[in-house]
A = this chain, B = another copy of it.
Amino acid sequence: MSKKIPIGIVGASGYTGAELARIIHGHPDARTVFATAESQAGRSLRDLYPTAPDLRLRPTADAPLGEAEVVFLCLPHGAAAATAARALEAGCRVVDLSADFRLRDRATYETWYDTTHPAPALLSDAVYGLTELAREALPAARLVANPGCYPTSVILALAPLLRSDAKIVGPLISDSKSGVSGAGRTPSPTTHFVQVADNLSPYKVGRVHRHLPEMEQELTRLRADAPPLVFTPHLLPVARGMLSTIYATLDGGVDLDALRAHYQAAYAAEPFVQLLPAGTPATLAHAVHTNRCALSLFAAGDTLVITSAIDNLVKGAAGQAVQNMNVMLGLDETAGLSR
C-alpha cells in the first residue's frame, strides 16, 4: 500500500471527481490520499454516490498538497488555476480537468471565458493532454491540461485525416451528442428529469460553445490550414456517453479503403482507440464505462462520415486524466482503466 503513488483529488464531489475517485480506487499503483469539496466537505463521497469509495471530503483550503505526488483538479474554470499554482509550488504534478490551461492563447481564453486569466504565467508550461497526441510531452510535464469531452471525441476522429494528404473542401462539421452528466451535478432546469427525458435538445448552436476554440486550436496544430469547424452539441436523454458524427467533404472523393488503412495504421498501437470493423458504426454502447474512443469510417458520396464514441466521464474526463498520469509516471498506460 505505501508504495502506491499518492494522489490528491481537488473537487471530488462532482461527477468527474467522483469518477476519478472510483478509478483511482481500483488502480493497482495509486491511492487517494485526500479528496476535497466545498459545500459537501465533512461528508463521505459515498454519501453522495452510493457505490463510490468511502473517502472523507475535506475543504479544499485544507488539502495537504504536500502529501500528494499527483493532484487532479476537478474544479470549475477560473477556480482551478489558483489551486494549480499552489499545487505546483508544493511540488506536485498537476492534471487540471478544467479549461484553464487548454487554450494556449491568453486572449482567446479571456474572450471565450469572459474573465481575466487567473495564472497566465503557467500557460506556457501546460501540456494539452489528449494522450494519444501528447505522449512524448507527458513524461516531463508538470502541468497537464486535460481536454474537454467534445474535443476528445472530435480530435481523435479527425487527427489521422488532418495528418493525411486528403484535401478537405468546405468546413469540418461535428454533430455531437452528449449525456447529461456532461452538464454537471448542480441542479438546473436544463438537467431536470422531466425536461430531458423523451427529449433531444441542440444547444449553443453556431460558433458559441467554449469547446470550439479548443478544438480549432488543436485541429490547426494537426494541419496548419485546417478548415473551420462547425460544431453542434446536443443533449441526449442518457446519463453518460458522447457520440460525434463528423463530416468532411473531400476533393476527389472518399477512398474508404485507403482511409481505413491509414486510420488503422495511425491507431494500431493505441490501447484506447478502437477502429471498428468496416460497416459497424460506433455507438454509445461501444464506449460507455470504458476509456475507449470507438471510431468508424463511412463514405457518403464525396463526404467522409466518421462516428466517434466515448464515455464523457471516462475518456472525456477522468479516465483520460488517469491515462495521462500513467504516461507521466511511466506506468502501464492502461493501469486502472477499462477498454
Residues of A within 8 A of B (CB): 15, 50-51, 169-171, 173, 175, 177, 180-181, 185, 187-189, 191-203, 205-207, 228, 230-232, 234, 236-241, 243, 245, 247, 249, 281-290, 292, 294, 296, 298-303, 305, 307, 338
Contacts and interface: CB of A to CB of B under 8 A. Distances in A.
Contacts of A205: 281, 296, 298, 300, 305, 307
Contact of A238 (B199, B286, B289, B302): B199
A223 to B, nearest CB: 17
B187 A281 contact: no
Contact of A234 (B171, B245, B303): B245
A104 to B, nearest CB: 22
Contact of A207 (B191, B199, B300): B300
Nearest to A302: B171
17 contacts: A15-B194, A51-B286, A51-B288, A170-B170, A175-B245, A180-B193, A185-B189, A192-B193, A199-B238, A200-B284, A201-B281, A202-B283, A202-B307, A205-B296, A205-B298, A206-B305, A232-B300
B200 A238 contact: yes
B207 A232 contact: no
Nearest to A51: B290
Contact of A245 (B189, B202, B288): B202
Contacts of A290: 51
Contacts of A287: 51
B249 A171 contact: yes
A193 B185 CA distance: 10
B281 A203 contact: yes
Contact of A198 (B232, B288, B301): B288
